[in-house]
Amino acid sequence: MRQPIFLLASLLLSLAARTQVQVSEEPRHHKVLANEWVRVLDVHIPPHDTTQMHKHSTPSVFIVLSNTRTGSQVLVEPGKPSFADGNIWFESFQDKPRIHRVWNEDTVEFHVMDIELPHTPGSAGNPAAGNSSSGNPTSGNTIDPPFSKLLFDAKPARVYRLTLPPGQHEALPRSPAPILVISLSGPGANGVVNRQPFTKKGDYLFLPANSPVAIANKSVTADQQFAVLYLK
């Protein structure tokens, strides 16, 4: 009896593998920004809903923006990420993709951002580096943004969590490559990035290379948090 069950399970897995889609084409992964540097997928899975079987194969930064019980069916798994509020991590998918589908077991929406990084890091060097006497913006020591914590420095991106106290405003180091800023606070957040209001989790702004970056906390009572991705 075990053999027919095993064969059926193998057949179902094989069928699921053939019907997978790239994550950027999965309907609950909403593509809100796409250029040569990033594909920002804003993922919303309602309670008791399930994604299609899909494939992650591009280097990506993941930002979990809700505290939601989830489950998944995995066909290929390079690692075991932890889905918890505020978790931010990088996966290169260099050796193995992730092929899975995810469901929401909770009564609240599952919200996560999948930021694919298709750009191949090139001669821009370290985008968080300061100017040197030679005028090369990629030379010199790394300048960390104020009020920030370095989360990781991966090949395609250097990523910080920036926490601004009430009433604080700061200018970030310019970069020879683009910067992506994402709100980690909300609902009812009161952040501003280059005059653009950041009022909820997942608000974002893509800033081209060498752009000035001004971040402010307009709240008088609460910290505002941002993920800052210096792309390479």
Domain assignment of residue 90, yes or no: yes
Task: Write out pLDDT tens, residues 76-130.
Answer: 988 777 767 779 999 999 999 999 999 999 999 999 999 999 999 874 444 444 4
β partners of residue 114? 41, 62
In a domain, 217, yes or no: yes
140, part of any domain = no
Overall number of domains in the chain: 2
Rounding to the nearest 10 degrees, give the CA dihedral for residues 112, 118, 121, 126.
Answer: -20
Higher pLDDT, 2 or 178: 178
Mean pLDDT across the chain, nearest whole number?
86
* DSSP assignment letter at 175: -
Within 10 angstroms of residue 105's Cβ, the number of other Cβ atoms is: 11
Do 222 and 154 belong together in one domain? yes
pLDDT value of residue 139:
35
Give the model confidence (pLDDT) of 18-67 as tens digits: 578 999 999 999 999 999 999 999 999 999 999 999 999 999 999 999 99
**C-alpha to C-alpha distance for 33 and 56, rounded to whole angstroms:** 17
Clarify whether residues 32 and 110 are in a common domain. Answer: yes
Burial 56-78 (b: 16+ CB within 10 A, else e): bebbbbbbbbbebebeeeebeee
Are 108 and 162 in the same domain? no
The tokens for 129 are 């580096």
Which helix (H) or strand (E) segment holds residue 21: the answer is strand 21-22
Q: Pick the closest to residue 113 from 167, 196, 180 (CA basis).
A: 180
What whole-number distance in Å separates Cα of residue 218 and Cα of residue 221? 9
Q: What is the pLDDT of residue 122?
A: 72
Tokens found for residue 199: 């009022």
Any domain includes 8: no
Helix (H) or strand (E) holding 115: strand 110-116
Order of all β-strands in the sheet with 224-231 = 148-153, 157-164, 224-231, 179-183, 204-207
pTM as predicted: 0.84
Domain limit, last residue, from 98, 116, 134: 116
Same domain as 109, residue 164: no
> How many Å apart are CA 14 and CA 3, to the nearest integer?
16
Domain with 200 in it: what CATH number? 2.60.120.10
User: Which range of residues forms the domain containing residue 69?
Assistant: 21-116
- For residues 50 and 100, membership in a common domain is answered with yes
Res 2: pLDDT: 52
Can you list the alpha helix ranges (DSSP code H) found in the chain?
2-18
